[in-house]
Structure 1
Amino acid sequence: MDIREIQNLIKFVSKSGATEVKLEMDDFKITIKTTLEGSEPTTTYVQQMPVSQALPQAPAAQPTAPTAPAVEANDDAKYITIKSPIIGTLYRKPSPDKPVFVEVGSTISKGDVVCVIEAMKLFNEIESEISGKIVKILVDDSSPVEFDQPLFLVDPS
């Protein structure tokens, strides 16, 4: 199963309304847990199992949600967050000698590429699902990102 198939599975599960899906194959195990809107975010665990050996599996570690100051949350509440759809390394430029995709103050439209995320030697263009103006960049160039991690704040007005 490649990263695109995992992404499609995550999208399918989140749209289906299911609260938990487990998929076990010969070489990996995936558990996707979702909750109702307004409560905790979607949690996805991907656990690789060794192909050559059948070792007992350790339970997946529970990720902890980062806490942000309450004042900052109130200021940013009017903005829409562009989040990472995958785990990988975020790059703000298409290549080292090119300019960045977006800066603070850039106006974007739905479908515009805002960054690329490298996952398993594949570069995935991350497109905006909204139109607006970039007001804050939350991740540095060449930084590792997690699934559903906030990347950009966009003012849709």
Structure 2
Amino acid sequence: MLKIQEIREIIKLIDQSSIEKFTFESEGTKIKLEKGSSSAQVHPEQKNVESVQQTAPAVQAVKQEEPKQEKVDTTNNETSSNSPAAEVDPSLHKITSPMVGTFYQSSSPDAPAYVKKGDSVSPEKIVCIVEAMKLFNEIEAEVSGEIVEILVEDGQLVEYGQPLFLVKQN
């Protein structure tokens, strides 16, 4: 199965190309992406089909709960809100959301948060979960360093490319 970072890279490459449709198959997993489509499908070894909503510049989607948000701004991957991320040290690494969904700091309401401000992280360390269409996607830090800031609240809706954490890299 592909990691979310690998899928994110595929989406970025498709967005930067003139390709309208893309299909990728590897080790029993099949991903189909279409510009202007509202979903990417993942087919693991003919068992069951899971549909994963990817709101990215390469795959534009309409959120049914909030009809006012119809498309992602392809010129800027940050949200247009007045978030502290716009005013921070440019040397800090931003851990961003790979999809539209709901941000969770822990695996369940009674479990401790994956990370807190001041915690050290490694590239494979899970820092949060983003839930999209009842699928819980574990988000990894991707870098080694220290969590300087948590930019979103537990249970908050997040957009594709929205900064979630700021990390001071080692």
Q: Scaled by the length of structure 2, what TM-score is found?
A: 0.62
SS at 1:126's partner residue? Answer: strand
| Aligned mate of 2:9, from 8, 11, 14 | 11
In structure 1, what is the Cα distance between the partners aligned to 2:4 and 2:169?
29
Say if 1:29 and 1:47, in contact at 8 Å, map to a contact too: no
Instruction: Give the 3 Å change call, closer, same or farther, for CA 138–121 of structure 1 in structure 2.
Output: same
Alignment identity in percent? 35
Counterpart residue number, 2:143: 130
Q: Name stretches of at least 5 consecutive residues in structure 1 with no aligned partner.
A: 33-41, 49-59
Counterpart residue number, 1:63: 72
SS at 1:125's partner residue? Answer: strand
Pairwise CA distance, 1:85: 0.9
**What letter corresponds to residue 30 of structure 1 in structure 2?**
E
The structure with the largest alpha-carbon Rg is 1
In structure 2, what is the Cα distance between the partners aligned to 1:72 and 1:93?
22
Pairwise CA distance, 1:10: 4.6
The superposition leaves residues 22-55 of structure 1 with CA deviations (integer Å, 9 ceiling, x where unpaired) of 239xxx98327xxxxxxxxx7243448xxxxxxx
Q: Scaled by the length of structure 1, what TM-score is found?
A: 0.66
Instruction: Give the 3 Å change call, closer, same or farther, for CA 151–20 of structure 1 in structure 2.
Output: farther
Say if 2:95 and 2:167, in contact at 8 Å, map to a contact too: yes
In structure 1, what is the Cα distance between the partners aligned to 2:146 and 2:128?
15
SS at 1:116's partner residue? Answer: strand
Instruction: Give the 3 Å change call, closer, same or farther, for CA 114–66 of structure 1 in structure 2.
Output: same
Query: Aligned pair count?
Result: 130
In structure 2, what is the Cα distance between the partners aligned to 1:11 and 1:47?
18
Moved over 3 A (4+): 4-10, 15-18, 44-48, 60-65, 71-75
In structure 2, what is the Cα distance between the partners aligned to 1:120 and 1:143?
15
Pairwise CA distance, 1:87: 1.3
In structure 2, what is the Cα distance between the partners aligned to 1:93 and 1:137?
13
Pairwise CA distance, 1:17: 8.1
| Aligned mate of 1:22, from 13, 20, 25 | 20
In structure 2, what is the Cα distance between the partners aligned to 1:136 and 1:31?
34
Counterpart residue number, 2:43: none
Counterpart residue number, 2:29: none
The superposition leaves residues 133-155 of structure 1 with CA deviations (integer Å, 9 ceiling, x where unpaired) of 00010110011111111000000
Q: Name stretches of at least 5 consecutive residues in structure 2 with no aligned partner.
A: 23-31, 37-55, 63-68, 74-78
Instruction: Give the 3 Å change call, closer, same or farther, for CA 143–22 of structure 1 in structure 2.
Output: same
